Amino acid sequence: MKTKKGCAIIFLILMAVFSFSNLLPITFKGQTVKLSGLTIIAGIAGFFIVNFVTKSKMEGLRIQDFFKDIKSAKVIMLMLMPALINVLTVIPEKIFFPGFLQHVQNRIDFLNPSKIIILIIELIIAALGEEIAWRAFFQKQISKSLGFLPSAVLTSFLFAMCHFAFDNPLIVILDMAEIFINSIFYGLVFKETKNAWCSSLSHFLANLTAMILLAVLLR
């Protein structure tokens, strides 16, 4: 038990620290290095190590339970909410906050919108990696001590911080707020299903919707 807690705490602390790294941009040969990506590596490592130590057989990442876990109307509704939020907010954002969509595009410029197959694979991998790290590991471990709501809020705050990018303060706040709200829904999906594959699907759909909207509205 002590070994399990010790492993979990180490990786939880690493994730929390790395999540603020975008506030102190590091440049190498003229390029900004985003250390916030290390949160995913730390979270995935923590997930697999804790599962190995406890011999829990991949609890929280059981793909064989995926179709059973998404059957309820409540889960489906929660899964679709982040994508719906992206659709409902994009026009007001474009009208009232000029530069917001370009800010988002610049923040996710590692994705390749010109090659649809590669883009989809990138989105799937990114969503699954983040959900293993933030929901199946971070939120799950924190919720054991704090309960769901505080753990979901803390997880979503740090998750939003990982996506921080300097710009007009109002645009940054709006971007972070939308990421935070979407993250709360990913957390709710994981709470209902105990399965990161389900929250990953919600995350993927939200990201795909955002990419389609950006491609259409920034042409």
Measured between alpha carbons, how far is 197 from 130 in angstroms, rounded to an integer?
11
Task: Please count the CA atoms within 13 angstroms of the CA of 114 that sit on its side-chain side.
Answer: 2
Measured between alpha carbons, how far is 112 from 91 in angstroms, rounded to an integer?
23
User: pLDDT category, 120, cuts 50, 70, 90?
Assistant: confident
User: pLDDT category, 4, cuts 50, 70, 90?
Assistant: low
Contact of 35 with 18, CB cutoff 8 Å:
yes
For 168, the 3-state DSSP assignment is: coil
Mean pLDDT of 115-132: 90
Q: Residue 208: exposed, middle, or buried by beta-carbon count in 10 A (0-12, 13-18, 19+)?
A: middle
What letter does residue 167 receive in the DSSP assignment? S
Mean pLDDT of the chain: 92
The whole-number pLDDT of residue 182 equals 98
Any idea which of 72-76, 109-113, 191-195 has the lowest mean pLDDT?
109-113
- Which residue has 């290095």 as its token pair? 33
pLDDT(97) > 70: yes
State pLDDT tens for residues 36-74. Answer: 999 999 999 999 999 988 877 788 999 999 999 998 999
User: pLDDT category, 109, cuts 50, 70, 90?
Assistant: low
pLDDT(2) > 70: no
pLDDT above 90: percentage of residues in the chain: 76
**Other residues' Cβ atoms within 10 Å of the Cβ of residue 10:** 14
Q: What are phi and psi of 108, to 5 degrees?
A: -115, 30
Beta-bridge partners for 33: 26
The whole-number pLDDT of residue 108 equals 82
Measured between alpha carbons, how far is 140 from 119 in angstroms, rounded to an integer?
29
Q: Can you give the residue ranges of every domain in the chain?
A: 60-217
State pLDDT tens for residues 7-34. Answer: 899 999 999 999 999 998 777 777 777 8
pLDDT(172) > 60: yes
